[in-house]
Structure 1
Amino acid sequence: MSQKKAREVRRVKATPTSSKAAGHSRLLVAAGAVVVAALVGAGVLATRNTGPAQAVQVQTASSSVVSISGTDPISGKPISLADYAGKPVVLNVWASWCPGCRAEAIDLRTFVARHPEVQTIGIDQRDTKGDAGGFYRQFGWTHPSIFDPDGSIAASLGLQGLPTTYFLDRNHRVVTQIVGATNLAGFEKGLQAALAGA
């Protein structure tokens, strides 16, 4: 065999065939999928049985008066915290696509019905008006919301995740907050903290 032919044979052996390369790519994709599935499963197991999110006292934001306004995605009416001066306010940041928001929606509706002395206002973040309307109908909500399609209002509150509920005293300072889905007891505990701080 000539040296030229021998070099050619070595080059062909050293270069993987396209079918080998494709098989290698498929193997990498499959391995990546297994890793992602394992991480998701671990996250589900880690959060299982941890219960609803609890109220956390707010230290840094408590001196800041919250002043927000906007338009209700359901009624189209203007909504402003200034309209509820002297009244405790519960701000619930939500979205129709948020699983945690759905999980707490019925308890929030019950909480609102039990506390007419408090003004509950939703902040509908990064949503559409049509989806917001469907959410309201599905869960029987009646309290107003402020439409926040770009998330700027929620960001001004220092949002850390959805859902988040802020409990404001009568001066509209944030006293406590709940990051994550909670239940009726969690809403009640947050309100008590806000009333104690009023």
Structure 2
Amino acid sequence: MTAPDDTLVMENTRRWIEKAVIGLNLCPFARSVYVKNQVRIVVSHARHLDAFLDDLDRELDLLANTPAEEVDTTLLVHPTLFPDFFVFNDFLNVVDDVVAEHELEGVIQVASFHPAFQFEDAAADDIGNFTNRSPYPTLHLLREDSVERAVASEGGDADQIVARNLRTLQTLGAPGWEALLARD
């Protein structure tokens, strides 16, 4: 698979953040860190898993050693390494091990996004899957304290955020999602 140009990857990722994640308020704290330029987006060019893990190591170290005021969260995007969602999903076990190796459990958590994301026991076309659908396979490295503040600002109940997101996506529907992310 030929990798798309980095400019296109960044453009599509930013469109997704601006129109879906922030525009639909799927993540309650995304807007504040995004407008303050505290979101780091890194496009990986790794040709194999070991090199991608090296990229992950670097980003975990950077996030752990950089004040949140400079970089609050990182999106590690790879446009071609994980075309199959289930392979990507299995790889997340390795990602959890890497976070533990860096002694960052409880400090940094990783959320996953993929163009074909599918929750366990959900049909592939279930609109609920779209909460975690992104233009490219993406690891989102989040500071746990930022997540806790975001959840608290939404009333302290993460389940309410999930339920609200599902209602939003059900109202939007798959055609609405596609139209939302279409190039202007």
Indicate whether the TM-score tops 0.5.
no
Normalising by the residue count of structure 2, what TM-score does the alignment of the two structures yield? 0.34
Normalising by the residue count of structure 1, what TM-score does the alignment of the two structures yield? 0.33
Greater relative CO, 1 or 2 (CA 8 Å, sep 6+): 1
